[in-house]
Amino acid sequence: MKDSKARSIVKGISWRAVASFDTFVLGYIIFGNVAHASAIAGFEVLTKILLFFFHERLWNVIRAGRRADGSVAPWRSLVKSISYRFWGSLDTTLLSYLVTGNIGHSFILSGTEVITKIGFFYLHERVWARVQWGRIYEKPCEECPEEVQTA
């Protein structure tokens, strides 16, 4: 089983909606400035949708944790969450520093997001694990719904 590019794009957009809201709220709490929080969250929309898409495409070639019936093991979702957060934290630190010029608060924001984003990303992955749309099955699956039997 693989995921289509369209599925990766839609997953990226849905994730970005959740994550940008989280970034805005945390950015406002940490920097105390609506303009800074808005700018950081806004720039992340551009950088992180691309980052998410490429992360999804990379994980698309990794079969570990994918089951024959199309379901995904919870541990795969957790490992994906952690691997995405590594790259996401680098992006958040850089963007928030460029917007605010405050490296200390930028590290506080990205450090706080490690906790919130891994949790939210894991939940996002578990929801998407139940969505069959955009799944490509390389061979027939007897346990799969009829509409997702073949590529």
Q: Please check whether residue 73 is in contact with residue 122, taking contact to mean a CB–CB distance below 8 angstroms.
A: no
pTM: 0.73
The pLDDT tens digits along the chain (151 residues) read 788 889 988 988 898 899 999 999 999 999 999 999 999 999 998 898 889 889 988 988 888 888 877 788 889 888 888 898 899 999 999 999 999 999 999 999 999 998 998 889 889 988 998 998 988 877 665 665 555 544 4
Instruction: Identify whether the C-beta of residue 134 lies closer than 8 Å to the C-beta of residue 12.
Output: no
Spatial distance between the Cα atoms of 148 and 151, rounded to a whole number of angstroms: 8
Find the DSSP H helices in the chain.
5-31, 34-60, 74-100, 103-129
CA distance 45 to 113: 15
Domain boundaries, the chain: 2-148
CA 104/CA 82 separation, integer angstroms: 23
